[in-house]
Amino acid sequence: MIEDTPQPPAGTRPADDDLVRATGVVKYFPIRRGIIFKHEIGQVRAVDGVDLTVRRGETLGLVGETGCGKSTLARCLTRLYPLTAGQVVFDGTDISTLNRGQLRPFRRDVQMIFQDPYGSLNPRRRVGSIIGDPFAIHGVADGAERKRKVQELMELVGLNPEHYNRFPADFSGGQRQRIGVARALALRPKLIVCDEPVSALDVSIQAQIINLLESLQDDFGLTYVFIAHDLSVVEHVSDRVGVMYLGRLVELAEVDELYRHPHHPYTVALLSAAGTPDPNKARKRERILLTGDVPSPIDPPSGCRFHPRCPKARDRCSVDDPVLMPGTDRRPGAEPTGDGHVTACHYPVLPGEVLAGRT
Amino acid sequence: MALLEVRDLTVEFPTTDGLVKAVRGVSFEVDSGETLGIVGESGSGKTVCTLSLIGLAGGGRRGGQALFRGQDLLTMSADELRAVRGAGIAAIFQDPLSSLHPLYRVGWQIVEMIRSHEDVSKAVARKRAIDLLGLVGIPQPARRVDDYPHQFSGGMRQRAMIAMALALNPDLVIADEPTTALDATVQAQVIDLMVRLQKEFHSGLIMITHDLGVVADIADRVLVMYAGKAVETAELDDVFYHPHHPYTKGLLESIPGASGTRGKLRPIPGSPPSLIRLPSGCSFHPRCRYVMDRCLTDEPPLMDVGAAHRSACWLPATLSGLAEGTEAQRMKVAEAARSEDTPVAEGES
């Protein structure tokens, strides 16, 4: 199985540095019509060919607007969805074709934290038994030992262990998210995929959960995939950040590099649109206002998917679909840059270039 | 006299669990052409304190005074209030899908609103609806005016809501989290539109939001609310660079990228109190790093701490800002005024 996985380009880090290696991940959802005779009338191309690696111990941020496929991609990486095409290699094992039973051992190593701390906890079950679920499912600990382990976890995430027998309704939003964190942490996973873990929380509580996730990462050497639409939260937690647009990864770089020198016109516009909680910066900032909304993933635009909204689009962009390439120099034979900053754009934004705000 | 003057507003909701004191004596004013940002977290009373003014906080007991163009909104009859709503004060809500009727065409809804306030023909009202949709940036307004709300995207629905709010050229617009449901690039479009239209129409604007990024973009003055009270009010820059109240300061230190955060975030410990059983004294004291003995017993009123800058905190008026030196002084003052058994909020709870 392992021989089949494509090797990273020569001169990069050793392959075992990568915890997850995804190649050509595609996930389509069929649209069906008809009550008795269902027939397929189209497909939502939620994720449409994404290559991505997650390095051991890092936090990889994924940003993008509603419907860009970031959550679907996360669920593909954790095999909560079967893939339409492509391959996901986790810790040296190809998990993209495994069946439910074969996935079991893998499930211990990968956990998820969800956005909605209300919807992701069963309201009729006691908190102790919710957090203890992973132990029960994987037959790790029983009875008194399970209770002890659960209470340790509760203490670890800042919950009072005496609240073992309470129901989710007795906890505030921030505390519920801590319950979700405790449950994800129970089996000491290698990877935790956080899907908008703080979006539903008030800012003062948001910071508590972010700090908790960061200190747990230090203590247990966790790897995070961190999905959020809030760009400043992602900047704060991530080592590398990927930007998604309509089912594609359009740019990926180290966090400081991406926020200071974005290459893709979409990234530039997205960063300029984000609110800055600092009036002086807000006054100085040049906003690039994109026209229109994100197109439908059922029938995405031809060529580069961003071209109908792009201030730099030229004829080529509507025909020729760009792939992720390093640097900004698109001439043949250009020196490859070694910083891992890749962009899927024919005409990347150069340093100092001002994008005209076409409103 | 200001366009809207709210004095000592209280709103209470009787529930089976007890009396919810949603708003506990809030005063503010808004002038024409001015934007007041009201900031607070869920349950701070920011929405109730404005929507109750135009009779949209169902079942609440209201007290105090709210003078709009010199008339008290709180004592108006339902008919008088209906005349003010729309023509005098318009509201824009967070969720444009549930504020537009799904079964009527967008244009029809704007026409109906115009015709219920003004005696104009259908044709004239329809023409105005088309102009308004064009004004807020809906492409091909003459065609889209006959669309149903579900045919609009989220950003277009919010634009249609703004068009409707502006239809009668109101003096004051109350916008309750108008961009929260929108994506960043669309949010930027809508905020840009609101700023432009406000300049054009010279109306007053109250922007209610939890997002300090939106406030930094749009507000002239800011009112920070906590547990149903105004805890700090100041010009925009003073709130962000010279906050006095520990809650305002805590908010700024909790947000990545804000003026108060350098490196690690400093969250406010604990969570907001129940509005039925409020803490004694200052309602922020259980979460405050600088708690002093009197904070447990005396509730601080809004006091002057600078030019047009008021804060409801017992710390000395001079201790505003995020500088290290000020922080050390704050700690010193607080420690000196604290007996040994007073609990101090620390770290993450």
Q: Are residues B264 and B332 in the same domain?
A: yes
Residue bearing the bigger pLDDT, A6 or A35 = A35
Look at residue A230 and tell me if it is in a domain: yes
Nearest residue of A to residue B138, measured between CA atoms: A292
In a domain, A140, yes or no: no
CA dihedral angle for residue A244, residue A249, residue A253, residue A258, rounded to 10 degrees? -30
**Which of the four pLDDT bands, split at 50, 70 and 90, describes residue B140?**
confident
Residue whose token pair is 């006299």: B1
* Mean pLDDT score, A196-203: 86
In a domain, B136, yes or no: yes
Partner-chain contact B183 A229, CB within 8 Å? yes
* Tens digits of residue pLDDT in B18-32: 899 999 999 999 999
In a domain, B289, yes or no: yes
β-pairing, B35-39 vs B204-209, is parallel
In this structure, is residue A75 part of a structural domain?
yes
CA of residue B269 relative to chain centroid, distance: 24
| Whole-number Å distance between alpha carbons of B301 and A208 | 29
Amino acid at B163: A
In a domain, A157, yes or no: no
B21 and B128 co-located in one domain: yes
CA-only gyration radius of chain B, Å: 22
Beta strand pairing call for B61-68 and B4-15: antiparallel
Q: Is the pLDDT of residue B249 over 90?
A: yes
Whether B178 and B284 share a structural domain: no
Set of chain B residues whose Cβ sits within 8 Å of the Cβ of A287 = 188, 192
| Interchain contact, A277 vs B255, CB within 8 Å | yes
SS3 of residue B341 by DSSP: coil
**A336: which strand partners?**
none
Q: What is the pLDDT of residue B258?
A: 63
The 3-state DSSP class for residue B220 equals coil
Percent of chain B whose pLDDT exceeds 90: 57
Q: Which residues of B touch A173 (CB under 8 A)?
A: 271
- The count of domains in chain B is 2
pLDDT band at B43 (very low <50, low <70, confident <90, very high): confident
Residues B174 and B269 in one domain: no
Token pair of B29 as six digits: 């004013």
Q: How far is B328 from chain A (nearest CA, A)?
A: 22
| Cβ pair B258:A158 closer than 8 A | no
- Residue numbers in A near B213 (CB within 8 A): 232, 274-277, 282
User: pLDDT higher for A116 or B281?
Assistant: B281
Query: What's the confidence (pLDDT) of residue A264?
Result: 95
Residue A359 has a pLDDT of 40
Among the partner residues A172, A212, A275, nearest to B271 by beta-carbon distance: A172
Same domain, B81 and B121: yes
H or E segment and range at residue A109: helix A100-109
Q: Partners of B310 in the beta sheet?
A: B233, B304
Q: Is the pTM of this model over 0.90?
A: no
CATH no. for residue A249? 3.40.50.300
For residue B153, give the nearest of A203, A287, A293 by CB distance: A293
Across the interface, do B255 and A202 touch by the CB < 8 Å criterion?
no
User: Which of A193, A204, A262 lies closest to A231 in space, CA to CA?
Assistant: A262
Question: Looking at CA atoms only, how far is residue A42 from chain B in angstroms?
Answer: 19
Give the domain range for residue B314.
249-336
Contacts (Cβ under 8 Å, ≥6 apart) of B341: none
Q: What is the pLDDT of residues A72-81, one digit of tens each?
A: 999 999 999 9
By Cβ distance, the residue of B184, B241, B256 closest to A233 is B256
A351 inside domain: no
Kindly state whether residue A176 falls inside one of the protein's structural domains: no
Give the residues across from B222 on adjacent strands.
B37, B234
Which residue from B156, B241, B348 is facing A208, i.e. has the nearest CB? Answer: B348
Considering B181, B201, B219, which residue would you say is the last residue of a domain?
A: B219
Examine residue B239 and state whether it is found in any structural domain, yes or no.
no
Cα–Cα dist B90/B80, whole Å: 15
**Please, which residues bridge with residue A252 across strands?**
A242, A342
Contact between chains at B348 and A211 (C-beta distance less than 8 A) = yes
Torsion of CA A236, A241, A242, A245, to 10 degrees: 30
Q: Domain total for chain A? A: 1
What is the phi/psi pair of residue A303, to 5°? Answer: 60, -135
> Does residue A137 fall inside a structural domain?
no
Q: What is the mean pLDDT of chain B?
A: 89
| Radius of gyration, CA atoms only, chain A | 22
- % pLDDT > 70, chain B: 97
Task: Give the residue among B195, B308, B193, B194 at the shortest CA–CA distance from B244.
Answer: B308
Facing A235 at nearest CB: one of B184, B188, B257: B257
Is residue B149 domain-shared with residue B298, that is, in the same domain? no
Among B198, B219, B240, the domain boundary falls at B219
Q: What is the CATH number of the domain that holds B77?
A: 3.40.50.300
Residues B208 and B279 placed together within one structural domain of the fold? no
Tokens of B14: 């009787």
Q: Which of A156, A208, A235 is the best mutation test for B, with the most CBs of B within 10 A?
A: A208
Residues B119 and B268 in one domain: no
Q: Which two tokens stand for residue B218?
A: 């749009």
3-state secondary structure of A69: coil
| Per-residue pLDDT reduced to its tens digit, A164-178 | 999 998 888 889 999
Listing DSSP states for A143-159 in one string gives: HHHHHHHHHHHHHHTT-
Q: In chain B, which residues have their Cβ closer than 8 Å to the Cβ of A269?
A: 185
pLDDT of residue A5: 46
In a domain, A352, yes or no: no
Instruction: Look up residue A96 and give its amino acid.
Output: S
- Residue B151 to chain A, least CA–CA distance (Å): 13
Q: Which residue pairs, CB below 8 angstroms and at least 24 apart, start in A258-264? A: A258/A341, A259/A235, A261/A341, A261/A351, A262/A349, A263/A328, A263/A341, A263/A343, A263/A345, A263/A348, A263/A349, A264/A306, A264/A343, A264/A344, A264/A345, A264/A348, A264/A349
Q: Is residue B262 part of a domain?
A: yes
B210 and A272: CB-CB below 8 Å? no
For residue A334, what pLDDT is reported?
76
| Nearest-CA distance A188 → chain B (Å) | 23
Considering the domain architecture, whether residues B317 and B271 belong to the same structural domain is answered as yes
Asked if pLDDT for residue B175 goes beyond 80, the answer is yes
Per-residue confidence (pLDDT) for residue A15, from 0 to 100: 54
Give pLDDT tens digits for A7-42. Answer: 444 444 555 789 999 999 999 999 888 777 878 888
Two tokens, residue A203: 């800012």
For residue A229, the chain B residues in CB contact (below 8 A) are 183-184
pLDDT at B342 over 90: no
Q: Domain of A280?
A: 2-123+190-343
Which residues, including other chains, have CB under 8 Å from residue A24's CB and lie 6 or more apart?
A49, A50, A51, A85, A86, A87
pLDDT tens by residue, B283-328 = 999 999 999 999 999 999 999 999 999 999 999 999 998 888 898 9
**What DSSP letter does each residue of A159-183 carry, written as one string?**
--GGGGG--GGGS-HHHHHHHHHHH
ipTM, interface predicted TM-score of the complex: 0.83
Does residue B228 form part of some domain? no
Q: Are residues B159 and B260 in the same domain?
A: no
Q: Please tell me the predicted confidence (pLDDT) of residue B72.
A: 95
Q: Are residues B134 and B24 in the same domain?
A: yes
Contact A275 B217 (CB under 8 A): yes
Residues B122 and B270 reside in one and the same domain: no
- Domain assignment present for residue B271? The answer is yes
With cut-offs at 50, 70 and 90, classify the pLDDT of residue A200: confident
Tallying the residues shown for chain B, one arrives at: 349
pLDDT value at position B238? 95
